[in-house]
Amino acid sequence: VDSSIDLVAEIARLKKEKNAVILAHYYQTGDIQDIADFVGDSLALSQQAAKTDADIIVFAGVHFMAETAKILSPSKKVLIPDMNAGCSLADSCKAEDFAEFLKNYPDHTVISYVNTTADVKALTDIVCTSSNAVQIVQSLPADAKIVFGPDRNLGSYIKNLTGRDMVIWDGACHVHEEFSLERILELKKEHPNAKILAHPECKKPILLVADHVGSTAELLKFSITDDAQEYIVATETGIIHQMHKSNPDKVFIPAPPLDSTCGCNNCNFMKLITLKKLYNTLLYEMPEVVVDEEVSRKAVRSIKAMLDISA
Ligand code: 13P
Ligand code: SF4
């Protein structure tokens, strides 16, 4: 890219010219969130992808999110600025292994978190996100036997809340697993009035000390409606951009990981997306996300089942 190019202006021009829409997750950097047409959590982004009338969807997020958009809008061109933007949680559940695992539970309903590959969604009855997981589990009959994958922390949290019969896959997200309870409690001592906000992908001890647990969208909403002035935020740091924008007078402190120097409360996959890559993606219309037709046909049922319940 020519360094004299005004990336923000060029992205806006190309977007208009090509009837493209930019969807961005809350974990993107602030500059990307600010030029997006829509910023949201996984659920809201999938709802947007299902209803947009743009010809091109540029997904500023990770691969499973773009893949979900493609499955919901197969006739649209779906682009992702960096194909390597994966997800350690999705990687912790390979479709072949999941299929083997499911053989042990033939009479179970399979609920999979949206942070999975299309192949895993094709093995799933109903997808869920962290925003609607309780609602999806409770939509099943009280005696339903459930397999929940792949996040063990979200799974245990939901199992505890609902008391349902759930078998949980042993997967996790490398960002949320790294938060240190000890360091969060040290911070809390320095900021006794700060409330702790945590994403349900965090480990149980962190969820137990949290004042509020929820998806990124729920944590953002809580930060707006709640009356505290300070918050310790135990999820990926990108959400703090929106929290600041919505609450300019409040203080948001990123929860620390065990190793304070690693910066691992940032998702290295999410942060692969840059303005420069976004510009090139729009300009050259690549890389394009494609999903095998047969896989897509199976996966769309479990995603639509979720959207019907959360409509
Ligand atoms: P949300 O459901 O809050 O968007 O979470 C997505 C995610 O990747 C969490 O790590
Ligand atoms: Fe995946 Fe974790 Fe990154 Fe979310 S924060 S995209 S779960 S690796």
Per-residue pLDDT tens for 2-28?
677 899 999 999 999 999 999 999 999
Contact at 8 Å (CB) between 25 and 115?
Answer: no
Domain that holds residue 166: 89-172+296-310
Give domain status of residue 259, yes or no: no
Give domain status of residue 261, yes or no: no
Nearest ligand 2 atom to the CA of 235 is 5
158 and 302 belong to one structural domain: yes
Predicted local confidence at residue 311, as pLDDT: 78
Predicted local confidence at residue 1, as pLDDT: 64
Centroid of ligand 2 to alpha carbon of 158 (angstroms): 19
77 and 95 belong to one structural domain: no
233 and 95 belong to one structural domain: no
How many angstroms separate the CA atoms of 244 and 234, rounded? 15
Give domain status of residue 36, yes or no: yes
The tally of domains found in the chain comes to: 3
Give domain status of residue 265, yes or no: no
Per-residue pLDDT tens for 133-181?
999 999 999 999 999 999 999 999 999 999 999 999 999 999 999 999 9
115 and 164 belong to one structural domain: yes
Nearest CA to ligand 1 atom 6: 42
Provide the 10 A C-beta neighbour count for residue 52: 20
Q: What CATH number has the domain bearing residue 100?
A: 3.40.50.10800
167 and 304 belong to one structural domain: yes
Give domain status of residue 264, yes or no: no
75 and 15 belong to one structural domain: yes
- What tens-digit pLDDT sequence spans the chain (311 residues)? 667 789 999 999 999 999 999 999 999 999 999 999 999 999 999 999 999 999 999 999 999 999 999 999 999 999 999 999 999 999 999 999 999 999 999 999 999 999 999 999 999 999 999 999 999 999 999 999 999 999 999 999 999 999 999 999 999 999 999 999 999 999 999 999 999 999 999 999 999 999 999 999 999 999 999 999 999 999 999 999 999 999 999 999 999 998 877 878 999 999 999 999 999 999 999 999 999 999 999 999 999 999 999 97
Give domain status of residue 35, yes or no: yes
167 and 104 belong to one structural domain: yes
132 and 162 belong to one structural domain: yes
Q: What ipTM was reported for this prediction?
A: 0.98
36 and 61 belong to one structural domain: yes
97 and 166 belong to one structural domain: yes
156 and 304 belong to one structural domain: yes
What ligand is nearest to the CA atom of residue 221?
A: 1
Give domain status of residue 99, yes or no: yes
Query: Is 295 known as a binding-site position?
Result: no
Centroid of ligand 1 to alpha carbon of 156 (angstroms): 16
**pTM summary value:** 0.96
Give domain status of residue 96, yes or no: yes
102 and 122 belong to one structural domain: yes
